[in-house]
Amino acid sequence: MIIRTSKRQCSWVTLLLLIVTLTVFRLITLISDERFIFLGLAISLVLTQVLHEGRQIKLKWTGYHWYLILFTLFTYVSSIWALDTRYTIGRGNTMLLSTIVLIAMSYCFKNARDIDQMLQVIMWSGFLIAYLAIYIFGIGGIIQSIRGSTRIGLNNEFINTNEIGMCAAYSILITIYFILYKKKWHLLILDVPAVLVVLATEGKKAILIIGLGAISLFYLKNCLDRDFRKRFAKAIGLIILIAIAATVLLTLPAFKGIRDRFEIMFKALSGSGSEDLSTSTRVRLIEIGTELFHSNPILGIGINNAHFIAGAEFNHEDYYLHNNYIELLADGGLIGFTIYYSIYVYLLFKLWKLRDFKDGGFNICFTFLIINLGLDFATVSFLDRTTYFYLLMYYIQYGILKQKWKLIAE
């Protein structure tokens, strides 16, 4: 019996599956036996897309797919010289499963004319994380956390506190994009729970994602103005407006926790105050990573091995170096570092070469890419499955721009 489904219905099913898949990527610590879940999601994504298109499976192989395979292979191979093979093989298995799912996800977007649906997947996944956080901690707990300037999640295994805030922040930034470029003002309603979660997590990175991301989107949107003086005036006006708004907001009680964390960080960095525990810990982690890199600068000590050395010093089972550049240099040496960041260099060069400020997709991808590279100084992103979905989105946007300029040239 053949079940016929309309293209519209199947498209919504695919979108829902993509949102669930990305959310599972972020919440996998709560879920056991990830193999069956990942493989099930990958098969489901391919089947729904086949039903939607009514044709045989045909995937265009790109540099993105070769990149995933190359980094996965390097992860496995690094187990040969790894200090502890178990950690490296385990990470290799995770990368392999993630690669299978990401290939299935890329199949769903092989004919994409824009990245709006991919942005919706990221946005809704972040909202789900925020809603789940509110459900777990309770709206009362969230409000109490904001009023009392105490961070949620510190004693909860749900998900890392910073990750909760960053998921919500990326969703808020995407709604800003849809408002600026698509006039979808109704999305502001969805931002309310996400804003509460950002305030409750007191995440510095989350605030930077929203603030710097919004400035970048607005500036890139106005780059079409050929008058440099007007562009410069708009940029200065925007910075002043953001500064005034930030100053006013940070005086409010709801922002006290975030304000205090920024003050402690700035005082520690300037030397005008005592170094807080977070800053001193990060400094020590960088020292550990640098020492590990010097011990084997070419190949590293094996992917996913630096974390157990750092964990042993801080008496913590899973303790990463809190810096993607240092962690990669320690784990994979110069070779692993080069393989991982090669796609970033490639995409930055290609996207800027084909830049089109009229294309909102370029503007938000370029913004996200710069933010990702900046946050890598404070997070370990190569171990985060979501990172590779972002890279997929950037690669697809590059393909869209490439095709657009090709048509113009003809």
Instruction: Compute the distance between CA of residue 119 and CA of residue 162 in angstroms, rounded to an integer.
Output: 21
SS3 234: helix
pLDDT tens-digit profile of 163-222? 888 999 999 999 999 998 988 988 889 898 998 888 888 777 888 899 889 888 988 887
Confidence grade of residue 307 (pLDDT, cut at 50, 70, 90): confident
C-alpha closest to that of 255 among 322, 210, 216: 210
- Element (H or E) spanning 207, and its range? helix 204-221
pLDDT higher than 50, residue 8: no
Give CB contacts under 8 A, 24+ apart, made by 324-327: 324/376, 324/377, 324/379, 324/380, 324/381, 324/382, 325/376, 325/377, 326/285, 326/286, 326/289, 326/290, 326/293, 327/289, 327/380, 327/382, 327/383
SS3 178: helix
The stretch 85-106 carries a mean pLDDT of: 93
pLDDT higher than 90, residue 146: no
pLDDT tens-digit profile of 348-372? 999 999 998 889 999 999 999 999 9
Confidence grade of residue 153 (pLDDT, cut at 50, 70, 90): low
The stretch 303-311 carries a mean pLDDT of: 88
Q: What percent of the chain has pLDDT over 90?
A: 44
